[in-house]
Amino acid sequence: MHIDRMLRIIAGGFIILTLLLAHFHTINWLWFTGFVGLNLFQSGFTNWCPMMTILEKLGVPKS
């Protein structure tokens, strides 16, 4: 699996997980959901994402 696909899966998973945690545990988890969304937004402009750097260091192929 390539890095772009892994990034989308991880971001979507984090969003779903934090929404569930906000519903069942505490609403403060929505701050993490907002962080993920903001990170996706800025990466659209800068073409840089911290998770991509982590995945590259783990050896996930770029394409």
What domain range is 36 assigned to?
3-57
36 lies in some domain: yes
Model pLDDT, residue 7? 94
Q: Which residues of 19-49 are buried (b: 16+ CB within 10 A; e: fewer)?
A: eebbeeeeeebeebbeebeebeeebeeeeeb
Model pLDDT, residue 30? 97
63 lies in some domain: no
19 lies in some domain: yes
Model pTM? 0.87
62 lies in some domain: no
16 lies in some domain: yes
Model pLDDT, residue 4? 92
Domains in the chain: how many in total?
Answer: 1
Q: Write out pLDDT tens, residues 13-63.
A: 999 999 999 999 999 999 999 999 999 999 999 999 999 999 999 999 997
